[in-house]
């Protein structure tokens, strides 16, 4: 790759050809403020805060729109630059409400941060501020199903306009009127209707666009932990960060407070979809399974007896007995969701092989759903149809997945066998949210109620029609509650990190399978998910890197707060280099040093 060398503030800087002076400054840790520039969208050159002085150029230049050239001599600290920049900051604030104390962006706001660094100490403005829809948070107006807009805070950087036009593909946001009367608007105030609307909150450098989900919920200093992980709600596998709120045990509300995208050029760029961003409330919701459950006493009356919460050490032996009764061969079947991780499917495969021998792979079905997502044809961020993260992983393990990520799973064969009574016992593993991830499975519940199935074991995370029909309910973990790897639709193996602990007595799903196996006398020599990954890496081609994937632990938000806007986490890597580095957090498989997977203490199982 061609490179160019220039001098910024007396420092020689070498960057790839085609980079702008602003990018060069950011890459070399030199602070230059910017608002209209965002690395994921086109250059606008309108906010004017990124001005620098370049030798041989008569006027100050906006660094975001100036390409680096060999021998260029740039100053970001020249008196002219400092004064011009401060002037622009003064302009940006003369009409800004400065309601930071009630603004949800407060504490992670580039306008706050950069103004403190580069702006004048005080404003000379003594006219009333421009007001659009009211004052304070009363000026928040509905901006579509997911967002709120506060026009008073808007600095007209047009990032949102460009995001909708260039990334979403449907230019729903525009500016109406001009000059000092310019305001952000949508057609007839309809607001933004998009599957990727949540990105607008990240893109907006101020508190003008907020998600309804996060508004009034927390402040960055209330979020002491942030965990880099991935989203597992579809086959894309967007790299994300899970934000945790500080909260005493007894207090209401959840710890998981929001999801934000994390830059990965090969997977999701700077973005994520609204499904992945907003669909996390169930994880700490009312319907979570917290304790194992089973029906009264053993024997013929089992189906009539109510499901009762029990302890693992009571459930375990009973489950063993019933599984042994169910026997082997075609009569016993596993149905696993493609939401199950590589570790879980790997252990399941070994368990099935030990129990069912040669019929094992025929006796495990993999299920998932697929839904067409309505998006503009020109969108740059396509949300895939497959609503599960690991269909490719299941295929790599040798399970039959049909057309794979191209459409939904075909469970019609299994359904026939269950309804015909050929399959007598079914063990379902589904660690996905409220509606499950297997599509319409009312036929399973019906088969158990009718007696066509004589045993139904459900390992899941939330109550459902299925768990209600089950003989045994085993509480597993959502993806943010366990360290696990998934293979996305590109075949990329990615790590999802444990951000919070599973609730109550729920266990990580690999552990449940290991425990079930051991009770049946199957030797599954794993004490941690790391053990499983090591075995998996050794056994499977193409997965040798799997055991070296890095799992993240909560990073203190003090470091995060320096990052200002979550979508600009990359900035923090470069700009705030005097802070403790956590380099490598956004690189999943790029030669990271081997890192021991920390052991997750589990409750003893008797």
Residues that bind ligand FES (CB under 6 A): 34-37, 45-50, 62, 64
Cα–Cα distances in angstroms (integers) from residue 180 to residues 94, 131, 175, in the given order: 12, 11, 12
Q: Which stretch binds ligand SF4 (CB under 6 A): 20-28, 101-109, 229-237, 558-566?
A: 229-237
- The structure tokens 């959840």 sit at 254
Least Å from the CB of residue 119 to ligand SF4: 16
Three-state DSSP class for 182?
A: coil
Partner whose footprint covers residue 197, from ligand FES, ligand SF4, other proteins, none (CB < 5 to 8 Å by kind): none
CB 339 within 8 A of CB 232: yes
Q: Which is nearer to ligand FES, 36 or 512 (CB)?
A: 36
DSSP assignment letter at 264:
B
Q: What is the dihedral of CA 190, 192, 193, 195, to 10 degrees?
A: -170
Compute the half-sphere exposure of residue 436: CA atoms within 13 Å on the CB side of its CA: 21
Least Å from the CB of residue 388 to ligand SF4: 10
Tokens of 105: 């962006």
Least Å from the CB of residue 192 to ligand SF4: 11
Partner whose footprint covers residue 34, from ligand FES, other proteins, ligand SF4, none (CB < 5 to 8 Å by kind): ligand FES
Partner whose footprint covers residue 383, from other proteins, ligand FES, ligand SF4, none (CB < 5 to 8 Å by kind): ligand SF4
Q: Decide: is 148 part of the binding site for ligand SF4 (CB under 6 A).
A: no
Least Å from the CB of residue 389 to other proteins: 40
Partner whose footprint covers residue 160, from ligand FES, other proteins, ligand SF4, none (CB < 5 to 8 Å by kind): ligand SF4
Least Å from the CB of residue 69 to other proteins: 12
Least Å from the CB of residue 233 to ligand SF4: 4
Gap between the Cα atoms of 272 and 203, Å rounded: 12
Q: How many residues bind ligand SF4 (CB under 6 A)?
A: 26
Gap between the Cα atoms of 554 and 498, Å rounded: 9
Gap between the Cα atoms of 506 and 309, Å rounded: 12
Partner whose footprint covers residue 50, from ligand SF4, ligand FES, other proteins, none (CB < 5 to 8 Å by kind): ligand FES
DSSP assignment letter at 165:
I
Q: Which is nearer to ligand SF4, 262 or 395 (CB)?
A: 262
Q: Which is nearer to ligand SF4, 273 or 470 (CB)?
A: 273
Q: What is the dihedral of CA 479, 483, 484, 490, to 10 degrees?
A: 80
Q: Decide: is 157 part of the binding site for ligand SF4 (CB under 6 A).
A: yes
Partner whose footprint covers residue 275, from ligand SF4, other proteins, ligand FES, none (CB < 5 to 8 Å by kind): ligand SF4
Nearest to 566 by CA among 171, 239, 253, 324: 239
Partner whose footprint covers residue 125, from ligand FES, ligand SF4, other proteins, none (CB < 5 to 8 Å by kind): other proteins
Q: Which is nearer to ligand SF4, 103 or 155 (CB)?
A: 155
Q: Decide: is 432 part of the binding site for ligand SF4 (CB under 6 A).
A: no
Partner whose footprint covers residue 84, from ligand SF4, ligand FES, other proteins, none (CB < 5 to 8 Å by kind): other proteins
Gap between the Cα atoms of 593 and 595, Å rounded: 6
Least Å from the CB of residue 240 to ligand SF4: 7
Q: What is the sign of the dihedral through the CA atoms of 423, 426, 429 and 432?
A: positive
Gap between the Cα atoms of 554 and 338, Å rounded: 27
Cα distance between the two ends of the chain: 60
Least Å from the CB of residue 60 to other proteins: 6
Gap between the Cα atoms of 355 and 327, Å rounded: 9
Q: Which is nearer to ligand SF4, 158 or 597 (CB)?
A: 158
Burial 534-547 (b: 16+ CB within 10 A, else e): ebbbeebeebeebb
Q: Decide: is 283 part of the binding site for ligand SF4 (CB under 6 A).
A: no
Q: What is the dihedral of CA 394, 400, 402, 403, to 10 degrees?
A: 30
Gap between the Cα atoms of 96 and 277, Å rounded: 29
Q: Which is nearer to ligand FES, 66 or 454 (CB)?
A: 66
- Helices within 304-390 (DSSP H only): 312-326, 342-356
Q: Which is nearer to ligand SF4, 26 or 275 (CB)?
A: 275
Q: Which is nearer to other proteins, 65 or 562 (CB)?
A: 65
Q: Decide: is 105 part of the binding site for ligand SF4 (CB under 6 A).
A: no
Q: Decide: is 210 part of the binding site for ligand SF4 (CB under 6 A).
A: no
Within 51-92, strands assigned E span: 51-54, 61-62, 73-75
Gap between the Cα atoms of 346 and 399, Å rounded: 10
Gap between the Cα atoms of 561 and 106, Å rounded: 10
Least Å from the CB of residue 56 to other proteins: 15
Q: Decide: is 237 part of the binding site for ligand SF4 (CB under 6 A).
A: yes
Partner whose footprint covers residue 181, from ligand FES, ligand SF4, other proteins, none (CB < 5 to 8 Å by kind): other proteins
Q: Which stretch binds ligand SF4 (CB under 6 A): 113-121, 232-240, 293-301, 501-509?
A: 232-240
Least Å from the CB of residue 247 to ligand SF4: 25
**Which residues, 6 or more positions from 353, have their beta carbon under 8 angstroms from its beta carbon?**
360
CB 352 within 8 A of CB 522: no
Three-state DSSP class for 226?
A: strand
Partner whose footprint covers residue 453, from ligand FES, ligand SF4, other proteins, none (CB < 5 to 8 Å by kind): none
Q: Which is nearer to ligand FES, 84 or 478 (CB)?
A: 84
Q: Decide: is 273 part of the binding site for ligand SF4 (CB under 6 A).
A: yes
Choose, by CB under 6 A, the member of 22, 74, 203, 244 that binds ligand SF4. 203
CB 88 within 8 A of CB 51: yes
Binding site for other proteins (CB under 8 A): 43-49, 51, 59-60, 62, 65, 84, 87-88, 90-92, 94-95, 124-125, 127, 130, 155-156, 175, 177-182
**Residue ranges in contact with ligand SF4 by CB under 6 A:** 154-160, 184, 203-206, 208-209, 231, 233-234, 236-238, 268, 272-273, 275-276, 383
């Amino acid at each position: 790759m061609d490179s160019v060398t220039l001098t910024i503030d007396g420092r020689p800087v070498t960057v790839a050809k085609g980079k702008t002076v602003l990018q060069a400054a950011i890459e070399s840790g030199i602070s230059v403020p910017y608002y209209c520039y965002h690395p994921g969208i086109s250059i606008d050159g309108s906010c004017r805060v990124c001005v620098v002085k370049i030798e041989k150029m008569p006027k100050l230049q906006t660094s975001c729109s100036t390409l680096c050239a060999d021998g260029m001599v740039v100053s970001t600290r020249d008196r002219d630059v400092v004064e011009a920049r401060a002037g622009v900051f003064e302009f940006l604030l003369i009409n800004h409400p400065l309601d930071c104390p009630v603004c949800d962006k407060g504490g992670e706001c580039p306008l706050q941060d950069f103004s403190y660094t580069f702006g004048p100490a005080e404003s000379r403005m003594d006219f009333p501020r421009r007001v659009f829809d009211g004052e304070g948070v009363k000026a928040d107006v509905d901006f579509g199903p997911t967002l709120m807009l506060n026009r008073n805070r808007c600095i007209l950087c047009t990032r949102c306009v460009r995001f909708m036009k260039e990334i979403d593909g449907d230019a729903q946001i525009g500016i109406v009127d001009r000059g000092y009367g310019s305001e952000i608007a949508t057609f007839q105030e309809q607001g933004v209707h998009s599957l990727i609307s949540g990105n607008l909150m990240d893109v907006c450098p101020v508190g003008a666009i907020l998600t309804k989900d996060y508004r009034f919920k927390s402040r960055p200093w209330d979020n002491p932990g942030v965990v880099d992980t991935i989203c597992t709600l579809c086959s894309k596998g967007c790299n994300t960060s899970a934000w945790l709120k500080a909260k005493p045990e007894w207090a209401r509300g959840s710890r998981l407070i929001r999801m934000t995208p994390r830059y990965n050029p090969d997977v999701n760029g700077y973005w994520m979809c609204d499904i992945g961003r907003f669909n996390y409330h169930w994880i700490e919701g009312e319907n979570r399974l917290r304790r194992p459950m089973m029906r009264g006493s053993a024997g013929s009356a089992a189906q009539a007896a109510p499901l009762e919460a029990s302890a693992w050490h009571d459930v375990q032996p009973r489950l063993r007995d019933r599984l042994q009764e169910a026997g082997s061969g075609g009569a016993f079947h596993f149905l696993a969701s493609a939401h199950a991780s590589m570790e879980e499917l790997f252990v399941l495969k070994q368990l099935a092989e030990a129990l069912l021998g040669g019929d094992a792979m025929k006796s495990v079905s993999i299920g998932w759903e697929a839904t067409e997502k309505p998006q503009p044809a020109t969108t740059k961020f396509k949300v895939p149809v497959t609503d599960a993260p690991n269909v490719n992983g299941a295929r790599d393990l040798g399970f039959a997945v049909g057309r794979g990520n191209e459409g939904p799973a075909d469970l019609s064969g299994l359904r026939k066998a269950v309804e015909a009574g050929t399959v007598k016992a079914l063990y379902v593993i589904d660690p996905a949210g409220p509606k499950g991830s297997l599509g319409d499975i009312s036929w399973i519940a019906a088969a158990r109620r009718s007696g066509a199935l004589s045993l139904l074991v459900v390992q899941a995370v939330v109550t459902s029609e299925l768990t209600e029909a089950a003989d045994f309910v085993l509480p597993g973990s959502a993806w943010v509650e366990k360290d696990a790897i998934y293979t996305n639709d590109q075949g990329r193996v990615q790590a999802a990190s444990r951000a919070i602990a599973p609730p109550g007595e729920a266990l990580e799903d690999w552990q449940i399978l290991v425990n079930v196996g051991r009770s049946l006398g199957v030797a599954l020599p794993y004490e941690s998910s790391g053990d499983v990954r090591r075995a998996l890496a050794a056994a499977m081609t193409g997965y040798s890197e799997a055991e070296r994937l890095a799992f993240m632990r909560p990073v203190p938000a003090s470091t995060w707060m320096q990052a200002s806007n979550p979508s600009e986490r990359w900035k923090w890597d470069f700009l705030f280099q005097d802070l403790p580095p956590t380099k490598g957090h956004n690189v999943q498989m790029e030669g990271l040093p081997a890192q021991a997977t920390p052991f997750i203490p589990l409750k003893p199982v008797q």
